[in-house]
């Protein structure tokens, strides 16, 4: 789909700020706050579409994840079904087998998905668990060609280097929300603890993947602050989740975000970090039949298949959405 930046249909601020981002200028925090309140919603999405197409061309990358260890996490993240602090009925199991991981990786690869990630619950793995995960990664690297990613909680530099040697090219560790709102979401570890893991991953030569969750009760200003904080770390792979309130968690009665607010947030992330791989992750079902509009708002990557504790879209549905609405081929 060709980008058409129609100046006459836009407010002056949207046109000017959108063009400045297109020209390679970084948007300022104050300008982002103003732009997020733009009344001409279509103009905002069109500006973010132009930026997305300039920096990402026709690429829509795909990834999938596997819940490789589930439940009984020691941390009290208020949104999480896997926290041992809450009764959610989530399935609990130890580190998966190599055979199960291989089966999931082969399925992902057969659908043309570029990346496959092993994700484990808990603040960090113990030595036995980490050794088993390493064995699985080594085995996958010998068997499949798909890029391998991991999300295993907090890491030491030594463990990060072992993961890199085993074949992990990207490590996921969300900061979840902005630094000023984080204490409202988790008390058993800090925002700085999460930043330290990202720094460790970068120092070990692994690409970081770091995003967050919107709809936790934070303000739009805090979402914008989250985007700027992620940008400051140099992160380019950014999964954007939308809260799916889980019964049994403290946020079970949190109202779902309206689709237009989700799309507005996506657009702001794209304008703030224009060259990012901005990824649809968990909770995008909240958009209903407007999921396709996320590709216009700024999404350039899609996590397909099921998520950690909830079901996602059918892979074929996602591929059809990408091809039909945007006129792009997934790559």
Give backbone dihedrals phi and psi of 116, rounded to 5 degrees, phi first: -135, 130
**Tokens of residue 293, six digits:** 């509009």
- Residues β-bridged to residue 238: 278
Distance from C-alpha of 239 to C-alpha of 254, rounded to nearest angstrom: 21
Distance from C-alpha of 284 to C-alpha of 307, rounded to nearest angstrom: 11
> Using one digit for the tens of pLDDT, what is the confidence trace for 49-83?
999 999 998 788 999 999 999 999 999 999 999 99
Task: Please answer whether residues 17 and 27 qualify as being in contact, where contact means their C-beta atoms are separated by less than 8 angstroms.
Answer: yes
Of 258, 278, 182, 260, give the one whose Cα is nearest residue 226.
Answer: 182
CA distances from 135 to 146, 162, 300 (A): 17, 11, 32
In residues, how long is the chain? 331
pLDDT-derived band at 318 (thresholds 50, 70, 90) equals confident
> Using one digit for the tens of pLDDT, what is the confidence trace for 202-256?
999 999 999 999 999 999 999 999 999 999 999 999 999 999 999 999 999 999 9
**Tokens of residue 30, six digits:** 């104050």
Q: What is the pTM for the complete model shown? A: 0.91
Task: Please answer whether residues 245 and 256 qualify as being in contact, where contact means their C-beta atoms are separated by less than 8 angstroms.
Answer: yes
Q: Beta-carbon neighbour count of residue 82 at 10 Å?
A: 24
């Amino acid at each position: 789909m060709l980008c058409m930046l129609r100046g006459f249909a836009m407010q002056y601020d949207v046109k000017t700020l959108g063009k400045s981002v297109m020209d390679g200028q970084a948007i300022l925090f104050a300008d982002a706050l103003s732009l997020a309140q733009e009344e001409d919603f279509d103009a905002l999405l069109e500006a973010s579409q132009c930026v997305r197409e300039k920096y990402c061309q026709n690429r829509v990358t795909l990834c999938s994840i596997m819940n490789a260890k589930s439940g009984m996490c020691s941390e009290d993240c208020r949104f999480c079904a896997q926290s041992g602090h809450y009764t959610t009925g989530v399935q609990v199991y130890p580190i998966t087998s190599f055979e199960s991981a291989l089966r999931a990786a082969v399925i992902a690869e057969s659908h043309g998905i570029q990346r496959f990630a092993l994700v484990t619950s808990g603040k960090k793995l113990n030595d036995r668990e980490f050794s088993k995960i390493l064995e699985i990664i080594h085995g996958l690297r010998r068997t499949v060609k798909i890029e391998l990613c991991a999300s295993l909680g907090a890491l030491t530099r030594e463990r990060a280097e072992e993961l890199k040697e085993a074949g992990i090219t990207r490590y996921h560790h969300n900061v979840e929300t902005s630094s000023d709102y984080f204490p409202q979401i988790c008390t058993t570890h800090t925002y700085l603890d999460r930043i330290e893991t990202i720094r460790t991953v970068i120092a070990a030569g692994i690409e970081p993947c770091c995003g967050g969750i919107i709809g936790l009760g934070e303000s739009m200003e805090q979402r914008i602050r989250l985007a700027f904080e992620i940008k400051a770390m140099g992160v380019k792979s950014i999964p954007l989740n939308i809260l799916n309130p889980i019964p049994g968690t403290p946020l079970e009665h949190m109202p779902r975000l309206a689709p237009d607010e989700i799309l507005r947030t996506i657009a702001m992330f794209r304008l703030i970090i224009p060259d990012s791989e901005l990824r649809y992750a968990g909770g995008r079902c909240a958009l209903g039949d407007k999921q396709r509009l996320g590709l216009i708002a700024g999404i350039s990557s899609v996590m397909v298949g099921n998520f950690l504790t909830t079901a996602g879209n059918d892979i074929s549905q996602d591929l059809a959405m990408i091809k039909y609405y945007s006129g792009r081929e997934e790559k």
